[in-house]
Amino acid sequence: MAITINNTRENDTDQTVFFSIDFDGEKSWHGDIPKDADPQAHLDAMEDTLKCGILRKQYPEADVSQLEDKTALESFEAWIAGGAKNAEITETITTPAQPAVDAVMGERQVVVDSEEESEVSTTEIVEVDGKFVEKTTTETVTKSVSTPQFTEHQLYNEDGTPQTRVVTAAVEAKDAVLDDEGAEIEPAVEAVEEVTEPVLHSVPTMESYTISEATETVAEQSETIITRPETVVEKVAWKDTSE
């Protein structure tokens, strides 16, 4: 008989059976079974399950596949006979295809960055030869300046004529004014022509820029990686349980 009952212990709701099983040598183990079950008959019916449990304890890292037309015990024993090896596991990672995408362009005002120097003065009161003197220190400070750029355009009237503004008004020539005795009362005035300048309209100078670069078509790509190499599972020595 493969299973020998060594002892039983009554519990509140079940019974613990201590037994020996002849499986790759005699091994002592125990298990809980229903309170009203016959220990020998119950364990005999579970013989294959108990043997699988022993193998699972001896090969705790085993990854055993259930073989077609084989019991769980037969599958486990076949796995051991095959070298106790966990099979290699691979994973295929697929990167989906991507269509070509045109560049996305935008428009913005041109800005010129420059450095600008300015004089900064600070005033402090210091003691010089027992006298308090207000002293001013001036230093040159350079700062970065961003200047938006504009393009000047001639502004026109509705009738198509260019608009102008008077810079210098015209002056009509006048002779000097003399009194009865011939003395000059008012000096002569020379004629001055009117001076005008065009009226300009400032328009921001724009430039195009790339918001996102164009991308080329990318074909679907697949890569198979090994997530677990084939490994041999080491057998762990059996440890008997005591009552």
Residue type, 50: L
Question: Which tens digits make up the pLDDT trace of 40-51?
Answer: 999 999 999 999
- Strand partners of residue 178: 184
The pLDDT-based confidence of 205 (bands split at 50, 70, 90) is very high
In this structure, what are the phi and psi dihedrals at residue 39, rounded to the nearest 5 degrees? -55, -45
Q: What is the dihedral of CA 9, 10, 12, 13, to 10 degrees?
A: 90
Contact 63, 42 (CB under 8 A): no
The pTM (predicted TM-score) of the whole model is 0.53
Query: What pLDDT score does 1 carry?
Result: 55
The lowest-confidence range among 53-62, 156-165, 177-186 is 177-186
Residue that the structure tokens 């679907």 belong to: 220
Segment 51-93, tens digit of pLDDT? 999 999 999 999 999 999 999 999 999 999 999 999 999 999 9
The Cα diameter of the chain in Å comes to 164
